[in-house]
Amino acid sequence: KGYIVINKEICKECLLCINFCPKGHIVTTTEYNALSYHPVGIDETKECNGCGICATMCPEVAIEVIVNKVLMSGNHVIGEAAI
């Protein structure tokens, strides 16, 4: 099982993460960020498998993936998560 963290302030609504998420865990929202985009959100009814495809596909590096307390950004390990 994994978790994702979305930096909604830098998300530019390209929807690549939604198109590539195999679990349908990422969804569109109606809220706006400071850049006037609708940032993506998380569907809590669906479980993240921690595959990291969403973070890899995000051109803005707005998604971090946490798997077994390891924090990933794109394909890079960037630290340990406190969960």
pLDDT tens column, 11-28: 999 999 999 999 999 999
- pLDDT-wise least confident of 14-23, 41-50, 59-68, 74-83: 74-83
Q: Which two tokens stand for residue 32?
A: 């706006």
- Are 62 and 37 a contacting pair, CB within 8 Å? no
Instruction: Tell me the whole-structure pTM to 2 decimals.
Output: 0.81
Distance CA 60, CA 79 (A): 19
18: three-class secondary structure by DSSP: helix
Q: Which of 1-5, 15-19, 32-36 has the lowest mean pLDDT?
A: 1-5
- pLDDT over threshold 60, residue 2: yes
**Would you state the pLDDT for residue 56?**
95
CA 37/CA 50 separation, integer angstroms? 25
